[in-house]
Amino acid sequence: MEKIELLITVKTYPTPSTRYREIVCTAGVKQDGSWIRLYPIDYRFKDYSQWYKKYQWIEVDVEKPKQDPRPESYKLISDIKILSKIIDTKNNWAERKKYVLAKGTKIMCWLEHNQNQNNISLAVIKPKKVKDFVWEKTSNQWTTKQIYALAEMRLFDKNHPSQLEKIPYKFSYIFICEEPNCKGHKMMIEDWEVMELFRRTRDSYGEKEGLKKVKEKFLDEICSPKKDTYFFVGTVLQYGSWIIIGTFYPPKLQQSGEQMNLFGLNH
């Protein structure tokens, strides 16, 4: 058993699991910037006091799981203790950058072609150029097996949330990474925020508008030339393939004066 403090940076949309009912891929960084993946977390069934948000520090007891060879994966064996408020974005996201970028960035082509998930399965990458944000229609129904998994009641449930909605779209970024010979990547994004934004805007303005709003936020705003955009990427255990699990987009620093401000040299 190990006790760790973690700054949450990633929360993916829940997926049904026959073993754990529904799970949210949760990841974050420790003080030194090293990545940790926590599971299983049946987030929506937990007591509200454990509903951590992105950029909050939490404390948990963990152990290495037996069936997951990925070095960053840890099994949660305690309740989740929330230690801080949400770390704010003051000073060009200085406090968040300090931890998130502490270990630098990786190159997507290198991760995809030269690594396997037994060595690395979570990273920050810098897209050199984001070309598009696209979606494909998928089923709006869970499979029968998934419905059974989701409907299971458990003795210690603190919450009884409504049935998890199957979002009928798959959203992906198309981008070039920093590798000079990069042929381009099309990678799915499974950030909870994407799905929530779609659901919310669709419920108010209809499906077409919902999709438009998601693109406005995740392409026009997050990947705007004014932002210094990064992607959090992680592997899917069964396949070892990489997906995007979150975005990080502090404002681009234009002048050296601002740069100095970031490190507090002007104060």
CB of 179 to Zn ion, least distance (A): 4
Residue 20 or 110: the one with the smaller Cβ distance to Zn ion is: 110
Binding-site string for Zn ion from residue 174 to residue 203, where x marks contact by CB under 5 A and - marks none: ---x-x--x---------------------
Does residue 105 interact with Zn ion by CB under 5 A? no
**How many whole angstroms from its chain centre is CA 133?**
17
Does residue 25 interact with Zn ion by CB under 5 A? no
Query: Residue-wise over 240-255: b if at least 16 C-beta within 10 A, else e?
Result: eebbbbbbbbbeeeee
**How many whole angstroms from its chain centre is CA 204?**
25
The CA–CA distances, whole Å, from 140 to 93, 116, 135, 164, 267 equal 37, 32, 14, 11, 54
CA 152, CA 5: separation in Å to the nearest integer?
31
CB of 108 to Zn ion, least distance (A): 5
Q: What is the largest CA-CA distance in the chain?
A: 60
Stretch that binds Zn ion, among 126-134, 157-165, 169-177, 223-231 (CB under 5 A): 169-177
CB of 126 to Zn ion, least distance (A): 11
Q: Quick one: which of 256, 252, 258, 195 has its CA closest to 224?
A: 252
CB of 247 to Zn ion, least distance (A): 17
CB of 189 to Zn ion, least distance (A): 16
Stretch that binds Zn ion, among 73-81, 83-91, 170-178, 195-203 (CB under 5 A): 170-178
Instruction: Note the residues at the interface with Zn ion (CB under 5 A).
Output: 108-109, 177, 179, 182
